[in-house]
Structure 1
């Protein structure tokens, strides 16, 4: 039997095995297809709560976690083999998982993280022989032609992101981590130590959108950007730039690929500068044929060809970036788009597309 601890309690009760709706634009599809392949090979698959509901199970169980910590309840069961733990998020988003890496590497055979060098997290007490490189899973290994082929594009930038307040994650981290000796409260120096969590780009993203809004160069889509009674708004960076943000805010989007396909350029700012930490954001642009204007890890070219995106920090400030984008002729624009499509045909996207197959192999 295979038991999988999902990344959220919403996917317990075997909901992880349900095909994601089409409106999710591929979200959830990589893990769903990986589990379907396992079932097709004759193995039984359940989410982790099945084991708690059936304590009498004696058959061998291979246990995998995508981020939850149910393994702590199962360590006394001799038939459970703890195979792999996947840390999808960087420390700025999930600091507690990185603080318990010593525990995770003592329990699991493999632990997947964004980089193996300890950039933005501590290797103290970590069994480094258990660490493996995480390639953020993507749903498709080809462009989505109905979107990619679109030619009548708006010659400006688009960004699709939900509002995220990084201080929420720091405050949550104050609770600390559960250890064998009980709950330990993290110290203030730990909570605000950016050498551990890494530089967050949530604030940088807001400043970038505000600067480009002043140039009428961008449209903003996503959830939670309007003022509401929520901890998200307790954030000076957001409040001080609110008027600029609202001047370009277009509301939520029903399909990110359809929205991306309307624009020639997309602003892609990762959540952190953490080494080798790439999410699905660049690939979403490649799928839809929108040229990514990128800010993120400095080693991005180790994974994707530099001719497939525009590195904003190599150009200058945002006015310089906008001037550069306006100067591109149709042939240059098409060269960027073709380079993005070649990411799939050349095999550069394969480690990301095959990631869950490697985890469950």
Structure 2
């Protein structure tokens, strides 16, 4: 039977999500946010779009006009021409990690009719592009919840500072100056300029996360999981931090998102610190904790309470300092903890949460593309 397609969607994202992986739900479930790609394809095909990966398009897979590029951070833009038009520009990566992309948003978004990004990005998007805010694509993973005695605090977070092209010292000591100068010598002048002058870089929340981890690690049971924490040379300017990492670091959680949530569920609290403080920049961290029936200790988006019920988490940004925060955490009664957890359960079943679902985001993408076609 011949299908009358609306058009073609070419998905351009990281190489780990090639065309052959885009329909593999189990593979995509291994990655935070990966399930969104599966939901996007399901929604696209339901609405009679032909879907393929950028690699398949490059290899000559037959497409149906009009063909639109759905691009993660501008990937694949060089392939646009007679057979492929720019469609949607989107991204889930942090402005701290992908600084050059976010710094160049105005120029990049001039080429796309639609831009779907964190709400704070509106100030940088070209007026030639139709901007709409999006949120982290959440999914009900139906993970197993640990029902035993929960205690301690967990941090499941990658240490990404070592991945950045330019290292900015938190203190102007000799060690920090040497590291900063080395970064300048090793990397492009434009990147150096961006890292030291872009105001978003200075909303970096990493040091606040370090301070909480150090305070908790010295006084309370803390376990840390994630990539990069074994790079202890990055903590040489803080012996206390090095000792905490050596004591608390448990390695990387293998097995995908479900295994991560099952690990989180064994603890009482979860450190959920975004790596930047921007309106609308709310990633999976707080939702992972709530789904795992663990109390989130959150720091990040100033407007978080517009999207996540305030009764379902501890807002670390409301405390005067890290000592006051840790004192409060340690003072919580069992009754108060249960109230926070119960609020989280109600939130997961609310319309407020469903608006942030992966399926809802997929529908938004397809509706935008249907309007283009």
The aligned counterpart of 2:281 is: 277
- CA–CA separation in structure 2 for the residues paired with 1:210 and 1:43: 50
The aligned counterpart of 2:243 is: 243
- CA–CA separation in structure 2 for the residues paired with 1:350 and 1:26: 18
Residues 22/97 of structure 1: CA separation in 2 closer, same or farther (3 Å cut)? closer
1:88 maps to 2:92: yes
Residues 23/274 of structure 1: CA separation in 2 closer, same or farther (3 Å cut)? closer
Residues 65/237 of structure 1: CA separation in 2 closer, same or farther (3 Å cut)? farther
Q: Is the 8 A contact 2:144 2:262 kept in 1?
A: no
1:165 maps to 2:161: yes
1:153 maps to 2:157: no
| RMSD of equivalent CA atoms | 2.9
Residues 37/130 of structure 1: CA separation in 2 closer, same or farther (3 Å cut)? closer
The aligned counterpart of 1:182 is: none
2:135 alignment partner, SS class: coil
Shift of 1:160: 0.5
1:136 alignment partner, SS class: coil
**Match of residue 222, structure 1, among 226, 236, 252:** 226
1:15 maps to 2:21: yes
TM-score (norm 1): 0.83
The aligned counterpart of 1:204 is: 208
Structure 1 residue ranges, 4+ long, deviating more than 4 angstroms after superposition: 55-58, 116-119, 171-176, 233-240
Residues 195/31 of structure 1: CA separation in 2 closer, same or farther (3 Å cut)? same
- CA–CA separation in structure 2 for the residues paired with 1:23 and 1:153: 28
The aligned counterpart of 2:39 is: 33
1:139 alignment partner, SS class: coil
1:115 maps to 2:119: yes
5+ residue gaps, structure 1: 177-184
5+ residue gaps, structure 2: 1-6, 168-182, 368-373
1:6 maps to 2:12: yes
1:199-225 alpha-carbon deviations (Å, 9 max, x no partner): 212233223211211112422122232
- CA–CA separation in structure 1 for the residues paired with 2:128 and 2:266: 45
Q: Is the 8 A contact 1:88 1:134 kept in 2?
A: no
Residues 238/50 of structure 1: CA separation in 2 closer, same or farther (3 Å cut)? farther
- CA–CA separation in structure 1 for the residues paired with 2:63 and 2:36: 28
1:169-208 aligned within 5 A: 169-170=165-166, 186=190, 188-208=192-212
Shift of 1:357: 1.9
Q: How many aligned positions are there?
A: 339
Shift of 1:47: 0.6
Residues 10/253 of structure 1: CA separation in 2 closer, same or farther (3 Å cut)? closer
Q: Is the 8 A contact 2:267 2:294 kept in 1?
A: yes
Higher deviation after alignment, 316-325 or 41-50? 316-325
1:70 maps to 2:76: yes
- CA–CA separation in structure 2 for the residues paired with 1:224 and 1:196: 23
Shift of 1:56: 7.7
- CA–CA separation in structure 2 for the residues paired with 1:57 and 1:193: 43
2:336 alignment partner, SS class: helix
- CA–CA separation in structure 2 for the residues paired with 1:175 and 1:340: 44
TM-score (norm 2): 0.80
The aligned counterpart of 2:327 is: 323
